[in-house]
């Protein structure tokens, strides 16, 4: 599935972008906020990789491993989203205090 491959590569690129951005920032709340976004992208990468395996191979082992990948990816997306929403107001406040 070329669409899944494109989404996999895109999510990996977004993960690397936010991971590097997280490392480069000095503000702690912004770092955690950006880390939440990178966790969402990494979870999407893992889940999409698991979905892609379902189309490539057709064995019981593949179905089990793909289910694990999809589950771990979805939990990572959920955890990253919760982290993103939690740290967003703190990052905004930190940014406002930094400028003011």
> Do residues 81 and 33 touch, judged by C-beta distance below 8 A?
no
> Do residues 14 and 81 touch, judged by C-beta distance below 8 A?
no
- Average pLDDT over the chain, rounded to an integer: 94
- Residue 61's Cβ-count burial label (10 Å; 0-12, 13-18, 19+) is exposed
* Model pLDDT for residues 35-45, shown as the tens digit of each residue: 999 999 999 99
* pTM more than 0.85: yes
Q: How many CB atoms lie within 10 A of CB 39?
A: 23
pLDDT value for 1: 72
* Model pLDDT for residues 71-88, shown as the tens digit of each residue: 999 999 999 999 999 999
Q: Is a pLDDT exceeding 70 seen at residue 100?
A: no
């Amino acid at each position: 599935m070329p669409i899944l491959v494109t989404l996999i590569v895109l999510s990996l690129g977004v993960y690397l972008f936010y991971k590097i951005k997280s490392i480069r920032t000095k503000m702690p709340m912004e770092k955690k906020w950006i880390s939440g976004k990178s966790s969402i992208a990494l979870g999407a990468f893992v889940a999409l990789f698991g979905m892609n395996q379902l189309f490539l191979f057709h064995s019981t082992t593949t179905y089990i491993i793909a289910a694990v990948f999809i589950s771990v990816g979805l939990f990572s997306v959920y955890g990253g989203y919760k982290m993103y929403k939690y740290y967003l107001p703190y990052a905004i406040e930190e940014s406002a205090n930094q400028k003011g």
